[in-house]
A and B are shown apart, each in its own frame.
Chain A
Amino acid sequence: MSVAERPAPPTDASGRGAAFASPEGGEELGVVEPLIFEASRAGRRAVRFPDASQRARDAADGQPPLPAWAQRGRPARLPEVSELDLLRHFNRLAHLNYAIDLNFYPLGSCTMKYNPKVNEWAARLPGFAESHPLDPDAIAQGSLALEWLLAELLKEISGFEAVSLQPAAGAQGELTGLLMTRAYHRSRGEGETRTKVLVPDSAHGTNPATASMVGYQAVTIRSNDHGGIDLEALRAALGADVAALMITNPSTLGIFEDQIDQVLEAVHDAGAIAYMDGANLNAILGRFRPGEAGFDVMHFNLHKTFSTPHGGGGPGAGPVGVSSRLEPFLPVPLPVLVNGDPDEVRRNAWAGRSTASARFALDHDRPQSIGKVRMHTGNFGMFVRAYTYIRSNGGAGLRTVSDDAVLAANYLRIGLADAYELPYDRICKHEVVFSGRRQKRQHGVTTLDIAKAILDAGVHPPTVYFPLIVEEALMIEPTETESVETLDAFIAIMRDIAHRAEHDPESVRRSPVSTPVGRLDEASAARRPDLRHAFEAGDV
């Protein structure tokens, strides 16, 4: 069935497409935007390609033909649409999305800061965008220089000895870090005995999942009453069978581990590796350098701290920084300076002077390397954006980033402290975690209801139900790029919802009513998976 045969869905007062009877019968169905497949008409085209020349065809005919058995039978049913149909379809889909560029996005743990547009300009420069990953080093000096310089900047920011840009995302950075951890222990003859990775109960789910992928047993360490890691529990768990501690600092509660020096000492005394999940680096730029403090390895999330766009779930980039003990195990290849003095190259680059006399190369010859975790050198387009961002901000700007991010989170903490429970009532870093427990117990309004009511107020909700150790959690990360007026407006929205939860709970539970679709039936989506368009018989 195609969309043209359907009546256009009338729109109700809320702006949603109103329900209308489906010709397939029975069930009421409304469609906000038809699938691109439903707009398809045989023979319609958007993009055309030139014909091969007769000369090319004749020459090609002399070569071995594609064998008949290898050729495709039934063609793929790709949509056939005009360019305008296509553009309108995706533009209408775009209108159904919330985005940083539309409004406040206080999603905890995700650092939804403004993504500067000059970064996009830089990533699309033809010199970068048309650079092939297997280009000989001689013609890829710009890409290599940028990678080398970005690694130098990340080293200085984090205090680590070396950086690999290769991991594609934070979770892959974790994988890289734990593979290096294991390689390190193996190099010391302890590969077989160190089998456990300690993970606090407030950790991101990726931490234990990564430990499993590397064949480690994840052991959970409880948090103490202040939201920090329980030092006694940690000491009790540490031993000759522990490969690493993975710790997020500041934690997912938005709290800096104020005993981090003792944590690091205990981990190292036990001969284990200290892994820092760098998801929350946006809180501590210029204040705490994990490598300098004694961590052995950390992943950066360039899509969080360094403003590369989240893209609806990616791409990101998850470079890792390491101490000298893990450096031999970094993934290959590594961009290296092969001709030139590193100090001079950095000085020239930072002063905006040419670095054309320096020579860079990819070093594949690293015998103790864990290998490759993905193809090529990483998500290069993200490196260009992150580099642009770091150079724009400079050291002073990056310090301001964290100062203002922490300032904003504490401002929200104070502004909402009497409206929602604050399980850990202390100075926070870049994010603050509230609990909707009171609203749930006293008024039957859950955190999910609150989240949906925030949507109706035109703002994206915070992260909800995470970290797992906070009941009905609301994890708010405002970031440094939001004005005090935006923060005040958000406080007013949250206070209004808390007020309504008390006095008119049904009005909260009804939300959302202003979004393109209402609450969706996730249970039936999982029970009867519908993961692709079902073409009608006769569609080709």
Chain B
Amino acid sequence: MTYSPHTDADRERMLAAIGVRSVDDLFADIPAAVRAQRFDLPTPLVEQQVRAELGRLASLNRIPEVSFLGAGAYRHLIPAVVWEVIGRSEFATSYTPYQPEVSQGTLQSIYEFQTLICELTGMEVATASHYDGATATAEAALMACRLTRRNRIAISSAVHPQIRRVLSTYCSGPGIEVVEVPADLAEGGSGLTSVAAVESVLDDSFACLVAQQPNFFGGVEPMGDLADAAHAAGAQLVAVVEPTSLSLLEAPGAYGADLVAAEGQPLGIPLSYGGPYVGLMAAPMSAVRQMPGRLVGGTHDAEGRRGYVLTLQAREQHIRREKAASNICTNQALCALAATAYLSAVGPQGLREVAELSTIQARHLAAELERAGLAERRFTAPYFAEVAMRLPDAERRHATLLEQGILAGHPLWRDYPELDGTLLLAATELTTDDDIDRLVTALAASR
């Protein structure tokens, strides 16, 4: 089916007004040599057919009954009221707010979003959103290069592997070198970024150190020490954070982070096989003119009414073209709205409860696995809501449990060969005691 409203009579009337005989005449400017030779697409479907087709495809996914998979994307409660807000078609079917008089809903919600991200991160300014946490990190690291006029970036190997890959891709454009600082992954190691390794790698050619809190393995990094080490070399600290953790863990602004990037998916955004999510970025005001992406600012109209506009657009591609801070145009506004509604819905107490429950259940999970003698913690450092556990015959048992509807976390050996037999297990507030019991029982039975 099409969504065209035109009757044959409408089309005839329009063609007559234009003064052509058929719609083909309107395509006469396409050179004959390059006109489409084929367009072999399926036949149209009406709604009940298309629903059957999409329902069939969705049913080919098997959603685990119990899942401990996180590794950068987390299953959290999405309050019904958040779904309600983002479902409003005044938000969903509007465009980028280039006409502020009729876009105050979007603009004010972004201003509120920017405020919330500043509050969470302890920073002075936050952008209107980026594609995801990885691109936000890459753009923040490139921003550090512009701010310091240096062209090397150090990144901890305990940063999410996909973030590191995206950073490498982004840096390959302008030819910026990315140096990996090894984390302490040795037997009996902390699983944390080594401050000594950072100190030995960084020199005055480095624009920044990128470190993640909690790190990819869930470990709590000594971010203050890492900031000091970066600053000692005249480099910046780009802190990659997890937003729900910021109700318990120190705000990056308080430990000396210069730039902050994050994946905002945990804030009310469905897993949806990886997107759309929302990248968060925050910085000090002194750096605002080097920030990529949209910013919303408060102002007023001629009668003194408060209003909001896209501002400092001289940084952006549609004004600066090849001199822009980034090429970013479309961002993730509706996902930023979801995060705004989520943070407003849970409030400070609710966000703390989410983080506390997550961290308690991650510890509970690790403790039960240890007590049953099924697995051991691979690293010694304190962790937040995700823990790396080593167990014998992990690959086979991971697959066996999957058949039973239990997803026992993320295999770490694919990205870290030295972490053979180690699974990264995540908990959130949705993880129940029963989930943990099922994992323990199934793992015990799979020996």
Contact = CB atoms under 8 A, between A and B. Distances in A.
A449 B179 CA distance: 53
Contacts of A378: 274-275
Contact of A126 (B58, B329, B348): B58
Interface string A469-481: 0000000000011
Interface residues of B, number: 218
B56 interface: yes
A113 B175 contact: no
Interface in A68-110: 69-81, 83, 86-87, 89-91, 93-102, 105, 107, 110
Nearest to A111: B95
A518 B299 CA distance: 11
Interface string A194-207: 00000000001110
8 contacts: A35-B111, A96-B108, A122-B58, A131-B271, A168-B276, A313-B95, A376-B275, A414-B19
B186 interface: no
Interface string A229-268: 0000000000000000000000000011011110010000
Interface in A126-141: 126-136, 138-141
B438 to A, nearest CB: 15
A19 B34 contact: no
A427 B28 contact: yes
A402 to B, nearest CB: 9
A97 B104 contact: yes
Nearest to B11: A407
A398 interface: yes
A405 to B, nearest CB: 9
B128 A313 contact: yes
Nearest to A310: B95
A376 B274 contact: yes
A212 interface: yes
B118 interface: yes
A125 B215 CA distance: 32
Given A46-B345, A73-B250, 13 more contacts: A32-B305, A56-B361, A72-B250, A72-B251, A102-B90, A156-B40, A159-B36, A175-B173, A215-B174, A215-B175, A314-B335, A372-B166, A520-B307
Contact of B99 (A19, A57, A98, A311): A98
B270 A129 contact: yes
A71 B250 CA distance: 5
Contacts, number: 756
B5 A482 contact: yes
A225 interface: no
Nearest to B175: A215
Interface stretch (B45-53, B195-203, B228-236): B45-53
B364 A59 contact: yes
Interface in B56-75: 56-64, 67, 69, 71-73, 75
B320 A205 contact: yes
A131 B273 contact: yes
Interface in B61-116: 61-64, 67, 69, 71-73, 75, 77, 79, 81, 84-85, 87-106, 108-112, 114-116
B445 interface: no
A133 B271 contact: yes
Given A72-B251, A99-B93, A157-B39, A525 B115 contact: no
Nearest to B334: A311
B276 to A, nearest CB: 3
B413 to A, nearest CB: 14
Contact of A86 (B56, B110, B345): B345
A139 B402 contact: yes
Interface in B162-207: 162-163, 165-166, 168-170, 172-175
Contact of B55 (A31, A125, A169, A285): A125
A59 B372 CA distance: 12
Interface in A482-523: 482-484, 512, 515-522
A317 B276 CA distance: 9
A392 B1 CA distance: 5
Contacts of B40: 156, 395
B26 A373 contact: no
B298 A128 contact: no
Most chain B CB neighbours (cut-off 10 Å) among A90, A149, A377: A90
A288 B124 contact: no
Interface string A385-420: 001101111111111110110111011011100000
Contacts of A466: 318
A72 B248 contact: yes
A287 B330 contact: no
A4 B439 CA distance: 50
A191 to B, nearest CB: 11
A350 B162 CA distance: 34
A185 interface: no
Nearest to A40: B347
A286 interface: yes
A171 interface: yes
Contacts of B96: 310, 312-314
Contact of A392 (B27, B50, B60, B166): B50
B297 A525 contact: yes
A338 interface: no
Contacts of A142: 57-61
Given A86-B344, A313-B128, A518 B108 contact: no
A157 B41 contact: yes
B156 interface: no
A395 B40 CA distance: 7
B266 interface: no
A404 B303 CA distance: 43
A60 interface: yes
A260 B324 CA distance: 29
Contacts of A205: 316-321, 324, 329
Contact of B101 (A19, A114, A143, A516): A516
Contact of A76 (B28, B274, B348, B363): B348
Given A261-B31, A315-B332, A520-B301, A80 B321 contact: no
A388 B50 contact: yes
B331 A314 contact: yes
Contacts of A255: 29
Given A69-B224, A371-B165, A531 B288 contact: yes
B21 interface: no
B420 interface: no
B276 A382 contact: yes
Contacts of A116: 3
Interface string B1-33: 111111000110111011110010111111101
Contact of B348 (A77, A208, A331, A374): A77
Contact of B135 (A70, A110, A168, A288): A168
B81 A30 contact: no
Contacts of B376: none
A89 B53 CA distance: 38
A97 B107 CA distance: 9
Contacts of B321: 205, 208-209, 218
B92 A115 contact: yes
B324 A78 contact: no
A356 B60 contact: yes
A400 B353 contact: no
B155 interface: no
A1 interface: no
